[in-house]
């Protein structure tokens, strides 16, 4: 047989007079990354064997032999005994090679009937990503749980709230921490929503036109645990929306982690001093003996770049791609595997970092009213007495100017001297406690409202557990 025929383990030797050049083999090979699909390719192979059997194309004995061969491969994979060989182009070819080694060519050579690597790879990748989404969701649950624990602990402690990284209005520390919970809860919801749309089996679509052997895609979909089967065989093998969408979910998680990471870095800085990092989730310096750095938070921030890059890679690869399968599609895997591996590293480290942070509520509270953060309270006090906000804003601004000129706090100036509509009665409103208590609506920063917010978040979290 000529080089490169099926006799050498390739899936497509027949029409070639000679085998591929070494450079072609190297470019074409994907086993170094698509091996991650192997367990799912075995699962999908079993379902395909069942489909062939149901269609009357495999007798009992042959079907049983194929299933036994595949389950042996599954065991070998788990033990790390089955590994890619030089001749294997991709994971699908490798599996057929091994199956033929185990059950012989007459039995092993039957499994490829009515399927193509095009519907196979699309199916395998959906199965793998559905699996990964569950694992990532569990990692997210642990991170949210850690954030909830800290937020609950500090639900009633006052802290400065910021806009433009300047003191804006007082908030509670539990509200500050709690604001990170909701993005991650949305990420959980996004992954669940993605999973619903992704649970569609491409098996039976063949190379593109469907199968001509009477294999029922609906039965195979059910066999594999998918909620539905494809509507259009060409779309089934061409669609990678589920990869791009998954990568949007992971990029969004990355962005949320980066914003949390950035705040942990700020909070742990000498200037803020709001938190102390646990030794277990910090690193030191090779030259400065005193250093304790928030590297987990910095890596969470830094790795968001590659997560966004993974999404952009796949969208760019898909753009303008003709239907149906093109080899470009093979480039979907490395970015999506990278995104999974990256988050599976970062999420547990961030959960540990958050869980072990020691907040210093007295430090956070100390600066709460600085920068005249209660100026809005003065304006609101005037509004409650019938002054239009436009004027109230002016009057409160004049009080800020007077306090600044005297180098004192708002509540230390003679309010009545600033404007006739002001008086010392406004002093009651000029406290952090009053500012917090006034915002006792749903979603507000009053301690009671924050407690309610957090208990609803906990209920939502328990539903995902």
Task: List contacts with ligand ARG (CB under 6 A).
Answer: 30, 34, 90, 117-118, 121, 325, 327, 329-330
The residue from 28, 71, 269, 285 that is catalytic is 285
Q: How far apart are CA 108 and CA 112, in angstroms?
A: 9
Q: Tell me whether residue 89 or residue 223 sits nearer to ligand ARG (CB atom).
A: 89
Structure-block tokens of residue 321: 């791609």
| Residues in contact with 57: Cβ distance below 8 Å, sequence separation at least 6, in sequence order | 110, 113, 114, 213
Active site residue 164: yes
| Residues in contact with 6: Cβ distance below 8 Å, sequence separation at least 6, in sequence order | 12, 13, 14
Q: Tell me whether residue 10 or residue 303 sits nearer to ligand ARG (CB atom).
A: 10
Q: Tell me whether residue 33 or residue 162 sits nearer to ligand ARG (CB atom).
A: 33
Q: How far apart are CA 344 and CA 351, in angstroms?
A: 11
Active site residue 285: yes
Q: Count of CB atoms within 10 A of residue 208's CB?
A: 18
Question: 60: exposed, middle or buried (C-beta count within 10 Å: 0-12, 13-18, 19+)?
Answer: exposed
Give the shortest CB-282-to-ligand ARG separation in angstroms: 41
The vertex-113 CA angle with 78 and 42, nearest 5°, equals: 10
- Alpha-carbon separation of residue 2 from 11, 15, 93, 109, 232 (angstroms): 14, 10, 18, 19, 38
Q: Tell me whether residue 164 or residue 319 sits nearer to ligand ARG (CB atom).
A: 319
Give the shortest CB-327-to-ligand ARG separation in angstroms: 6
The residue from 164, 286, 320, 441 that is catalytic is 164
Nearest one of 84, 109, 101, 72 to 32, comparing CA atoms: 84
Give the shortest CB-94-to-ligand ARG separation in angstroms: 11
Q: Tell me whether residue 49 or residue 329 sits nearer to ligand ARG (CB atom).
A: 329
Q: Count of CB atoms within 10 A of residue 308's CB?
A: 19
DSSP code of 115? -
Q: Count of CB atoms within 10 A of residue 456's CB?
A: 13
Q: Tell me whether residue 88 or residue 245 sits nearer to ligand ARG (CB atom).
A: 88
Beta strands in 190-261 (DSSP E): 200-201, 228-229
Give the shortest CB-279-to-ligand ARG separation in angstroms: 44
Q: Tell me whether residue 328 or residue 425 sits nearer to ligand ARG (CB atom).
A: 328
Query: Do strands 228-229 and 358-359 pair parallel, antiparallel, or not at all (unpaired)?
Result: unpaired
**Within a 13 Å sphere around the CA of 1, how many CA atoms are in the beta-carbon half?**
14
Give the shortest CB-102-to-ligand ARG separation in angstroms: 22
Nearest one of 430, 405, 429 to 418, comparing CA atoms: 405
Give the shortest CB-196-to-ligand ARG separation in angstroms: 24
Give the shortest CB-80-to-ligand ARG separation in angstroms: 22
Catalytic residues: 164, 285
């Amino acid at each position: 047989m000529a080089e490169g025929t099926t006799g050498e383990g390739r899936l497509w030797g027949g029409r070639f007079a000679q085998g591929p050049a070494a450079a072609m083999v190297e470019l074409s090979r994907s086993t170094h990354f698509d091996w991650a699909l192997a367990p799912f390719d075995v699962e999908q192979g079993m379902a395909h064997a069942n489909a062939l059997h149901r269609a009357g194309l495999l007798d009992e004995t042959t079907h049983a032999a194929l299933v036994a061969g595949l389950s042996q491969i599954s065991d070998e994979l788990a033990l790390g005994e089955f590994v890619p060989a030089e001749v294997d182009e991709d994971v699908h070819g490798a599996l057929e090679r091994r199956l033929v080694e185990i059950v012989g060519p007459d039995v092993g050579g039957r499994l490829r009937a009515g399927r193509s690597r095009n519907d196979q790879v699309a199916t395998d990748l959906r199965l793998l990503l559905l699996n990964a989404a569950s694992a990532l969701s569990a990692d997210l649950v642990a991170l949210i749980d850690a954030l909830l624990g800290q937020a609950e602990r500090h639900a009633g402690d006052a802290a400065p709230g910021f806009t433009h990284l300047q003191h804006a209005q007082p908030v509670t520390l539990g509200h500050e921490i709690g604001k990170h919970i909701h993005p991650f809860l949305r990420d959980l919801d996004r992954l669940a929503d993605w999973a619903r749309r992704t649970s569609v089996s491409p098996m039976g679509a063949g190379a593109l036109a469907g199968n001509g052997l009477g294999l029922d895609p609906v039965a195979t979909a059910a066999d594999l645990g998918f909620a539905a089967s494809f509507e259009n065989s060409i779309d089934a093998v061409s669609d990678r929306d589920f990869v791009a969408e998954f990568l949007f979910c992971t990029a969004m998680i990355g962005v949320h982690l980066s914003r949390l990471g950035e705040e942990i870095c700020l909070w742990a800085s000498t200037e803020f001093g709001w938190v102390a990092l646990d030794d277990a989730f910090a690193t030191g310096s090779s030259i400065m003996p005193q250093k304790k750095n928030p590297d987990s938070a910095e890596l969470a921030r830094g790795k968001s770049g590659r997560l966004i890059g993974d999404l952009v890679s796949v969208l760019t690869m898909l753009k303008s791609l003709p239907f149906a399968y093109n080899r470009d599609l093979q480039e979907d895997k490395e970015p999506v595997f990278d995104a999974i591996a990256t988050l599976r590293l970062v999420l547990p480290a961030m959960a540990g970092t958050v869980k072990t942070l020691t907040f210093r509520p007295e430090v956070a509270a100390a600066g709460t009213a600085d920068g005249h953060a209660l100026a809005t309270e003065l304006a609101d006090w005037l509004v409650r007495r019938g002054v239009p906000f436009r004027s109230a804003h002016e009057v409160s601004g004049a009080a800020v100017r007077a306090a600044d000129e005297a180098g004192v706090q708002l509540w230390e100036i003679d309010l009545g001297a600033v404007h006739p509509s002001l008086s010392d009665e406004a002093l009651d409103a000029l406290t952090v406690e009053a500012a917090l208590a006034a915002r006792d609506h749903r979603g507000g920063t009053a301690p009671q409202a924050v407690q309610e917010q957090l208990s609803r978040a906990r209920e939502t979290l328990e539903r995902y557990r």
